[in-house]
Structure 1
Amino acid sequence: MNKTLLLFKTMVKMHFSMVGKDDKFKINVFIISLALIPIGIMWMFLLNTIISSLYQVLEPTGHESFIIAIGLILTGILLLFTSIPSILSSFYFAEDIEDYLAMPFHPYQLVIGKSLAPLLTVYGISAVVILPILFFYGLAYGSGILFALNGFLTFIFFPLIPFILSALMVMVLMRYANISKNKDRTKFVAGMFSLFMIVGFNVIIRMNQDTDQLSQGLGKWLEQQDQLLWNVTKFIPNVYAATKALEVDVWWHSVLFLVLFLLITVIAITLFIVFGQRFYYQGVLGISGGGKGKKVEDIESRTSSRSILWSYTTKELKTIIRTPAFFMNCVINSLFAPFFIFIMMFIDEDIGAMASTLQSIAPKSILLALFLFSIFVLGTNPTATSAISREGSNWFTNLYMPIQPKTILYGKLLAAWIVESVSIVLLLILFGFVINVPIFVLILWLILVVGASWISNLIGVFIDIHNPKLKWNDEQQVFKSRFAPLQSLLILFFGFGTLVLFLWFLPFVTNVWITFLILGIVIGTSIYFTQRKLIQTVDTQFIHIMEKQ
């Protein structure tokens, strides 16, 4: 037990180490935390509306505890599937696995230690979902200290069983399925599966007309399901006990179910340790093996005379496409917003009817609205903000290659711009063929958004080159616990958002061509000064990057 605690404590210190973090990092954390407050308020308002509507329907029939049961079961299913990619990365595909295997630890001790990173994701999702549900339900229920105590223990221990179930499935799969030689493909499939689960959940929600009707319809259905609580325990067994523990009308009844809930959790932890001891080492053996059957090709036949800039850009694009973590975060995630809009257009009649109302909207307003939405989509793409960090420990090789730092920088910028162009093409199809935006407004928008995309990449690379993350053991760590993408989005969105608001309300800017001219001048000026500043600092930053790490 002492070795287990020591290993876990060491991994916690390594994960949360503030060594090398300057005051700028702390300031960024503070600013971004403030920026997330409005999003949190909107999420709280949505949950409060759903829970209060459900409570009004279920309270007269005595089934109000179904609110907690449904909240826990949905959260458990979400945790069950979204934790699989992080478990795979942390348990099997991290680069420090071989270092720990040589240490005098039992397999179950390594499994407990490697659970840190996936558990952070699990508890992050739980804090966003479970805590607000318990809080708003407690306000409606008029609960007291016993409910608060049971709710706190539910938040602490409930996420463990979905996480353990995911870990058990992964360990058994890795033990008996020979997928170690296709680890990149495995991580890609797991990530895509989680993404489709999230998209599917949003589609189901969007298929309902509004929040109140969804809550009332769900409440009426729940009134007829007397065995619902017992049925959900077939999938996640601690839901029933946790729900009954939060019914505090009879205190000793609540305490008994709380003990049962904790007992189920202890049994699950014991199974986790037993399975880890039995299956972990067998699954991790040969994890570094490569694939077989690659063809031997003539190098000279594939060698052609190309510019250094385009060769480096091609190398960056291949790295992004061939690395599952980079492909998921830089390409797939950036397509989520356009893809989700496509879905809403087909399943929501009100949004689908938007095309018919465009004829009555001024072209200037259409251009500004499309431009602002596109800025948000482009700003969420982390390709530029991870341009330097993706190199990892191999960054030092750039210092010895016979390539100018400016060429390397432009290669990364071009690669990020090409990746973002995929989102631009999807938005072009969405605006032009689905929403039926007027053709001349669409052309003006396309010109502006191409320039805005270049600015987005300039800002992203500028942020990343000044504060890169080169020390990582798994590719997912390039994107986790980093504020660079959000910082770039805030700079881009609030900068152009302010300009769009001014142009929207200024009385003398009524013509779409004047609006286009002003936006074009601002974008061109921003490109000139941002690019000039980035080029001025690139030579010194290339040398100091390794020193900062």
Structure 2
Amino acid sequence: MMSKTWKVIRIMLKMQYTSTGKNNYAWLYIVAGLFFIPFLGIIFTLYNNLISAIYNVFAPLQQQSMILGLLFIGMSIVLFITCIVSVLTAFYFADDVEAYIPFPLHPYQILLGKAASPFIYSYLLSGITYLPMMIIYGNISNGSILYYIYGILLFILLPVIPFVIASVILMFVMRYVNIAKNKDRSKIFAGVFSLTAIILINVVVRLNTDESKLMESISQTMQEQEGLLQWITYFYPPAWFSANSLHQAESINGFLFILLMIILSGLAIMLFAFLGQKLYLKGVLGMSGGSSGKMSDKALDRSIASQPIWQSYIKKDLRILLRTPTFLTQCVVQSLFMPVFLLVIFFLDFGSGIAGEITGSVLEKNVLLLLFIVTVFMVSINMTAATAISREGKTWKANLFLPLNHKQVIHSKLIVSWIIGLLPMILLFIIGIVIGLPITVLILWGGLFLAINWFSSCIGLILDMNQPKLNWTDEQELFKNRFVPFFGFLMQVVIFGLIIIILWNIEVSNVYLLAVILFAVISIGIFLAHRYMYKRINQNVFQEINF
């Protein structure tokens, strides 16, 4: 049984991660890796400064173990949230899920095979967050060799329990969501479940938090030995076990705690396989079904009425984005997460009270530059343009035979990406009004947002044009197995980050002049990007795009 399970896992990973033609673009991965090296140093330095500062404050109080508690609690929350999206796409929304059903495999074997890819993603996420922090804490606290051995073991175990919790919840949900009449809407509802749950939890916690009682509780726990660690990890015991296994690594207690974590993780995997055997296929069956609706005569006339080609193409792209759960969560919902979360925090915690602090202590110049760099970050992580061509999949070749001008196709995809990018701008504008930012700065920033949004769309489309992925079997492959979006993010953050650093340090305080400089730089970038795209179109790049 286990040998067959391992074969299923290997085959699924090979199908998902093996792609022809990757060697032709090896240079892209090398350049992206070189761009990433300086960021590793910056991230490591930030982690070191943060942990050192907290350690120096709490070590005299014998409460330094709370750093480990925060680390494991924070990582568990992040992994749980990311697992909700990755589990949905891998277990239920992949095109090849139902293809495995006729094979002589148990449901739990299919489930374990599909779980391999989300696990790899979780380990990558843990590798850039947990490992550096664990090493830094060990260096500061003079951790023994057992500390690092236990730390590596916990790195292996860390994603297991959050992954199982997310998977079990979703298996129960999808088991009953799938019997709904409108399955298309059910899938979309499940896709945005994580965002809604996070916001609701944040709202409930903040509305029911009494700050005076909270501070009193913290002061009481600080009187006890390792009291803060117990207080932080009270609602999630695995974090307490993990933190204690590192904090007490040199004693027998550390060994017992790490042994307990191994047992808990093993039991979690067994529970995952058992419930998967009972529930998984019942949730998968019927996923390809959809609702059928009747169209009125007027709606039918509108749908077949003549309209401009570019308008039809834009509508087609928007429908694919909004009706495909994976595209909806990765391209739309993900870009809205940060502004929605910030909006909730500002409305519940600050209201207009922060307005005086910001406008009184921060120069308008610095506010504009901060807004601009946040904008660059937000538009550069938007996946819409970086998957514009790849989303077509095997239907891309139809564009070569339809009566479409190639420039019309490119412009339509740019407009779709630009429209999706406007959604976080609207929310950020509301946040700016809520916290009382100067209206002049908001208007100037709005103009810059429109321009940088278009430039970012151009960059993403160029990268996808040069390295499309059309032979996917699962929409998730466009977001988990490609370096193209990440390379576009690095390029934009590095370029505009350097520009912001220069403008921050020069003696220019006029926000209008700063806006003109930034707009000029973006305009030059847009001009060069369009020139490159048109050159590629003239070189028959559409015919070169293959599977």
Please tell me the TM-score bracket, short chain as reference: 0.7 to 0.9
Distance change (3 Å), C-alpha of 1:43 and 1:313: farther
**Residues 150-172 of structure 1: CA deviation (Å, up to 9, x unaligned):** 22222212421232233233333
Correspondence for 1:53: 57
**Residues 414-458 of structure 1: CA deviation (Å, up to 9, x unaligned):** 11122223333344444467434254x554444444333222221
Correspondence for 1:537: 536
Alpha-carbon shift at residue 392 of structure 1 (Å): 1.9
Letter of the 2:523 partner, please give it. G
CA contact (8 A) 2:376 2:492 kept: yes
Alpha-carbon shift at residue 403 of structure 1 (Å): 0.9
> What is the distance in 1 between the residues matched to 2:226 and 2:523?
64
Alpha-carbon shift at residue 388 of structure 1 (Å): 1.0
> What is the distance in 1 between the residues matched to 2:376 and 2:129?
28
> What is the distance in 2 between the residues matched to 1:81 and 1:384?
24
CA contact (8 A) 1:181 1:289 kept: no
CA contact (8 A) 1:58 1:219 kept: no
Correspondence for 1:353: 356
**Residue 457 (structure 2) pairs with residue 453 (structure 1):** no
Distance change (3 Å), C-alpha of 1:511 and 1:543: same
Q: After superposing the two structures, state which structure 1 stretch, 191-200 or 524-533, moved more.
A: 191-200
> What is the distance in 2 between the residues matched to 1:339 and 1:301?
35
> What is the distance in 1 between the residues matched to 2:49 and 2:135?
12
Q: After superposing the two structures, state which structure 1 stretch, 473-482 or 97-106, moved more.
A: 473-482
Correspondence for 1:382: 383
> What is the distance in 1 between the residues matched to 2:398 and 2:7?
36
> What is the distance in 1 between the residues matched to 2:36 and 2:528?
29
**Residues 460-494 of structure 1: CA deviation (Å, up to 9, x unaligned):** 21111111222333333322243333333333344
CA contact (8 A) 1:334 1:380 kept: yes
CA contact (8 A) 2:414 2:457 kept: yes
> What is the distance in 1 between the residues matched to 2:259 and 2:413?
56
**Residue 429 (structure 2) pairs with residue 421 (structure 1):** no
- Residues 206-285 of structure 1 aligned to structure 2 (within 5 Å): 218=218, 221=221, 223=223, 238-239=238-239, 241-246=241-246, 248=248, 251-285=251-285
Correspondence for 1:396: 397
Letter of the 2:360 partner, please give it. T
CA contact (8 A) 2:314 2:412 kept: yes
Correspondence for 1:526: 525
Tell me the SS of whatever aligns to 2:545: helix
Alpha-carbon shift at residue 118 of structure 1 (Å): 1.8
CA contact (8 A) 1:384 1:412 kept: yes
Alpha-carbon shift at residue 205 of structure 1 (Å): 11
> What is the distance in 2 between the residues matched to 1:434 and 1:299?
46
Tell me the SS of whatever aligns to 1:435: coil
Please report the RMSD computed on the Cα atoms of aligned residues, expressed in angstroms.
3.8
CA contact (8 A) 2:147 2:250 kept: no
Question: What is the TM-score when the length of structure 2 is the normalising length?
Answer: 0.83
CA contact (8 A) 2:393 2:469 kept: yes
> What is the distance in 2 between the residues matched to 1:416 and 1:240?
44
**Residues 374-429 of structure 1: CA deviation (Å, up to 9, x unaligned):** 33333332222221122122212222211111111111111112222333334444
Letter of the 2:34 partner, please give it. I
Distance change (3 Å), C-alpha of 1:104 and 1:222: farther
CA contact (8 A) 1:93 1:183 kept: no
Query: How many pairs are equivalent?
Result: 533
Distance change (3 Å), C-alpha of 1:40 and 1:96: farther
Alpha-carbon shift at residue 91 of structure 1 (Å): 1.7
Alpha-carbon shift at residue 69 of structure 1 (Å): 4.5
Q: Can you give the 5+ residue segments of structure 1 that lack an aligned partner in the other structure?
A: 208-213
CA contact (8 A) 2:184 2:291 kept: no
CA contact (8 A) 1:171 1:276 kept: yes
- Residues 493-532 of structure 1 aligned to structure 2 (within 5 Å): 493-503=493-503, 505=505, 514-532=513-531
Alpha-carbon shift at residue 115 of structure 1 (Å): 0.7
- Residues 131-530 of structure 1 aligned to structure 2 (within 5 Å): 131-179=131-179, 184-196=184-196, 218=218, 221=221, 223=223, 238-239=238-239, 241-246=241-246, 248=248, 251-295=251-295, 297=297, 299-343=300-344, 345-346=346-347, 347=349, 351-357=354-360, 361=363, 367-431=368-432, 434-439=435-440, 442-503=442-503, 505=505, 514-530=513-529
CA contact (8 A) 1:52 1:140 kept: no
CA contact (8 A) 2:66 2:232 kept: no
CA contact (8 A) 1:55 1:67 kept: no
Correspondence for 1:99: 99
Distance change (3 Å), C-alpha of 1:357 and 1:410: same
Alpha-carbon shift at residue 30 of structure 1 (Å): 0.8
> What is the distance in 2 between the residues matched to 1:155 and 1:446?
43
Letter of the 2:535 partner, please give it. Q
> What is the distance in 2 between the residues matched to 1:215 and 1:15?
50
Tell me the SS of whatever aligns to 1:115: helix
Distance change (3 Å), C-alpha of 1:350 and 1:135: farther
Distance change (3 Å), C-alpha of 1:139 and 1:452: closer
Correspondence for 1:4: 5
Correspondence for 1:109: 109
Correspondence for 2:211: none
> What is the distance in 1 between the residues matched to 2:376 and 2:300?
42
CA contact (8 A) 2:5 2:109 kept: yes
Alpha-carbon shift at residue 534 of structure 1 (Å): 0.4
Alpha-carbon shift at residue 355 of structure 1 (Å): 4.9
Distance change (3 Å), C-alpha of 1:232 and 1:337: closer
Q: Percent of aligned positions with the same letter in both sequences? A: 35
Correspondence for 2:45: 41
Distance change (3 Å), C-alpha of 1:52 and 1:482: farther
**Residue 27 (structure 2) pairs with residue 24 (structure 1):** yes
Distance change (3 Å), C-alpha of 1:464 and 1:67: same
CA contact (8 A) 1:51 1:133 kept: no
Distance change (3 Å), C-alpha of 1:380 and 1:247: closer
Tell me the SS of whatever aligns to 1:94: coil
Question: What is the TM-score when the length of structure 1 is the normalising length?
Answer: 0.83
Q: After superposing the two structures, state which structure 1 stretch, 229-238 or 33-42, moved more.
A: 229-238
Letter of the 2:61 partner, please give it. V
Letter of the 1:119 partner, please give it. F
> What is the distance in 1 between the residues matched to 2:264 and 2:511?
64
CA contact (8 A) 1:312 1:408 kept: yes
Q: After superposing the two structures, state which structure 1 stretch, 384-393 or 297-306, moved more.
A: 297-306
Q: After superposing the two structures, state which structure 1 stretch, 371-380 or 151-160, moved more.
A: 371-380
Distance change (3 Å), C-alpha of 1:354 and 1:66: closer
Q: After superposing the two structures, state which structure 1 stretch, 226-235 or 332-341, moved more.
A: 226-235
Distance change (3 Å), C-alpha of 1:127 and 1:375: closer
Distance change (3 Å), C-alpha of 1:23 and 1:35: same
> What is the distance in 2 between the residues matched to 1:154 and 1:170?
25
Alpha-carbon shift at residue 523 of structure 1 (Å): 3.5
Correspondence for 1:211: none
Letter of the 1:331 partner, please give it. V
